[in-house]
């Protein structure tokens, strides 16, 4: 992708979109072609590190079995849920947690319980926890780096021919959003069976605007 064309597209999007009284997200839409989502080899899920994070603060939740670890995590994470408490959480509770927290981690010994009781609630929302070692400093480091991580997947919807993900904020310079886009794009083409040949078109939109196609129109 041409960096200058991307930057011109985002600049045009910002100039044409109405300004809102909040900092809108900038979303990247990638539409595919010649991709059979029913084929397991054509489905992907990966995490990409972007150079210019657009989230300044995340809320974290960790599922743990070790009560000593739970004590040591106070002040590091926003919420700790003990393994013995997981079975008491209703589907409604699970949805509330998924909406309230951004980063989900689990001690390895608690992961089976999370899957059993909360898997059907958290998984469709992309909030199944990552397994984290029972080390407070490592968990702290994972949480600190999470704003620069974006999860990209087409596994959840088998009929999907596109992905749409947040790639920046309107308050950011277009060049920073472009750098984020290129980091994601370069990782994505490595996952596609035919690389660039599987990409039909790319668009950007803000939270409230219509999509603007790269190299084209709305």
| CATH hierarchy code of domain 60-146 | 3.40.50.790
Intervals of CATH 3.30.190.20 along the chain: 3-44+154-213
- Bridge-based pairing of strands 60-64 and 79-82 is parallel
Please provide residue 145's backbone torsions phi and psi, each rounded to the nearest 5 degrees. -85, -10
**Pair of tokens at residue 169:** 């904020």
Beta strand segments in 10-117, E: 25-32, 45-49, 60-64, 79-82, 103-107
pLDDT in single tens digits along all 218 residues of the chain: 889 999 999 999 999 988 899 999 999 999 999 988 888 888 898 999 999 999 988 999 999 999 999 999 999 999 999 999 999 999 999 999 999 999 999 999 999 999 999 999 998 888 999 999 999 999 999 999 999 999 898 876 656 789 999 999 999 999 999 999 999 999 999 999 999 999 999 999 999 999 999 976 54
**Cα separation, 99 vs 125, whole angstroms:** 9
Intervals of CATH 3.40.50.790 along the chain: 60-146
38: Cβ–Cβ under 8 A, 6 or more apart, which residues? 158
User: Which CATH class for the 3-44+154-213 domain?
Assistant: alpha beta
Q: Using CA atoms in the order 68, 71, 76, 81, what is the torsion angle rounded to 10 degrees? A: 90
pLDDT digits (tens, 9 = 90+) for 174-186: 999 999 999 999 9
């Amino acid at each position: 992708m041409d960096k200058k064309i991307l930057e011109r597209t985002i600049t045009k999007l910002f100039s044409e979109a109405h300004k809102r009284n909040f900092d809108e997200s900038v979303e990247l839409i990638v539409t595919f072609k010649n991709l059979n989502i029913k084929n397991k080899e054509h489905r992907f899920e990966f995490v990409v590190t972007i150079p210019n994070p657009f989230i300044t603060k995340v809320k974290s939740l960790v599922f743990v079995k070790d009560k000593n670890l739970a004590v040591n995590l106070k002040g590091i994470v926003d919420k700790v849920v003990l393994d013995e408490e997981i079975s008491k959480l209703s589907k409604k509770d699970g949805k509330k947690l998924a909406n309230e927290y951004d980063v989900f981690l689990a001690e390895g010994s608690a992961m089976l319980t999370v899957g059993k009781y909360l898997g059907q609630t958290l998984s469709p929302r992309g909030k199944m926890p990552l397994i984290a070692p029972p080390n407070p400093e490592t968990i702290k480091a994972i949480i600190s780096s999470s704003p620069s991580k974006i999860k990209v997947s087409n596994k959840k919807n088998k009929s999907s021919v596109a992905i749409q993900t947040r790639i920046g904020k309107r308050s950011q310079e277009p060049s920073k959003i472009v750098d984020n886009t290129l980091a994601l794009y370069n990782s994505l083409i490595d996952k596609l069976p035919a690389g660039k040949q599987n990409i039909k078109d790319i668009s950007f939109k803000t939270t409230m605007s219509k999509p603007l196609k790269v190299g084209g129109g709305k």
